[in-house]
């Protein structure tokens, strides 16, 4: 019995060993297949990684190339922008010059000439714009007096603002034509002979022909006399007329005509202010200095 038991145990152990052997072999085979699959996967992964690395190098090169291209484009853009800025500046300068020339071409070049015994206006000269002065500003409200149309607003505002300061400026004389000046001068010569040349211009040399010159008085004087300098109206003019573009043409000591405190000429606010600041008179400047203000003569 014991022998039989041992035989059976041996056979059973052999059978179990054989089972485990074959089972182990099967598992080993499966493991080998899995290892083989993993190896193939690893090889594929390495190949994929290599391709990705290669592509990355290519992409890096492309990116660097694009970056360089972008830098070149940025530089080109900056150059073009600088060119555009320069061209824009040039266009603005040209436009400014054209605008200035156009403005000058539309401005009467005679307006700032030094006419008193210097420049001559022909008998054919008439201001391009003449407007009748409102009777309220005249010593004789029914008279027909005319003034340069572009200057009349400056004159009207000046007289109105003087009125608000209780200063009553009244106009005696404004625009006079070439022929009107002949009549005025002839009348003075009849009364004063050659002495008339001290206070009355010959035809063609009168500032009144420009239509930008005015003779003032006040209701108490009612005429043009040097005593006007003692009146509030004259004081107000000497302190304020420049703000409206008017200056005294013939102050004391001038070398053209006798002192005329009533005679005020429009030269534009810029030039009037310059003369005021520098304590100079219109005829103290050279014609070249004066001409520089023609472009701004009607500017406010």
Burial track 57-95 (b if 16+ CB lie within 10 A, e otherwise): eeeeeeeeeeeeeeeeeeeeeeeeeeeeeeeeeeeeeee
Report the pLDDT value the prediction gives residue 225, as an integer from 0 to 100.
94
Report the pLDDT value the prediction gives residue 98, as an integer from 0 to 100.
40
For the chain, percent of residues with pLDDT exceeding 90: 47
For residues 285 and 82, give the distance between their C-alpha atoms in angstroms, rounded to a whole number. 43
For the chain, percent of residues with pLDDT exceeding 70: 73
For residues 108 and 124, give the distance between their C-alpha atoms in angstroms, rounded to a whole number. 14
246-248 sheet: strands from edge to edge: 170-173, 213-217, 263-266, 246-248
pLDDT above 60 for 18: no
User: What is the value of pTM for the model shown?
Assistant: 0.65
What is the per-residue pLDDT across 113-169, written as a single tens digit (0 to 9) for each?
Answer: 987 767 778 888 999 899 999 999 999 999 999 999 999 999 999 999 999 999 999
pLDDT above 60 for 78: yes
pLDDT above 70 for 94: no
Report the pLDDT value the prediction gives residue 219, as an integer from 0 to 100.
94
pLDDT-derived band at 61, boundaries 50, 70, 90: confident
pLDDT above 60 for 185: no
Report the pLDDT value the prediction gives residue 103, as an integer from 0 to 100.
55
């Amino acid at each position: 019995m014991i022998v039989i038991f041992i035989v059976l145990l041996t056979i059973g152990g052999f059978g179990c060993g054989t089972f485990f052997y074959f089972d182990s072999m099967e598992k080993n085979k499966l493991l080998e297949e899995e290892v083989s699959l993993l190896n193939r996967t690893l090889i594929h992964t390495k190949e994929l990684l290599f391709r990705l690395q290669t592509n990355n190098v290519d992409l890096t090169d492309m990116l660097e190339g694009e970056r360089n291209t972008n830098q070149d484009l940025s530089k080109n853009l900056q150059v073009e922008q600088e060119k555009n800025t320069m061209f824009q500046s040039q266009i603005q300068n040209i436009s400014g010059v054209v605008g200035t020339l156009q403005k000058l071409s539309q401005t009467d070049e005679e307006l700032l000439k030094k006419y008193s015994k210097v420049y001559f206006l022909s008998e054919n000269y008439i201001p391009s714009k003449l407007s009748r002065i409102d009777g309220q500003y005249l010593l004789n409200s029914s008279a027909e007096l005319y003034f340069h149309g572009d200057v009349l607003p400056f004159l009207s505002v000046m007289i109105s603002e003087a009125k608000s300061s209780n200063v009553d400026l009244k106009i005696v004389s404004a625009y006079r034509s070439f022929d009107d000046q002949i009549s005025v001068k002839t009348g003075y010569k009849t009364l004063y002979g050659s002495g008339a040349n001290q206070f009355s211009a010959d035809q063609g040399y009168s500032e009144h022909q420009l239509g930008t010159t005015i003779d003032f008085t006040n209701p108490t004087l009612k005429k043009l006399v040097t005593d006007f300098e003692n009146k509030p109206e004259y004081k107000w003019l000497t302190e304020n007329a420049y703000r409206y573009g008017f200056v005294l043409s013939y102050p004391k000591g001038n070398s053209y005509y006798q002192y005329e405190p009533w005679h005020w000429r429009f030269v534009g606010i810029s030039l009037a202010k310059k003369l005021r600041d520098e304590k100079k008179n219109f005829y103290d400047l050279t014609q070249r200095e004066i001409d520089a203000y023609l472009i701004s003569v009607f500017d406010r």
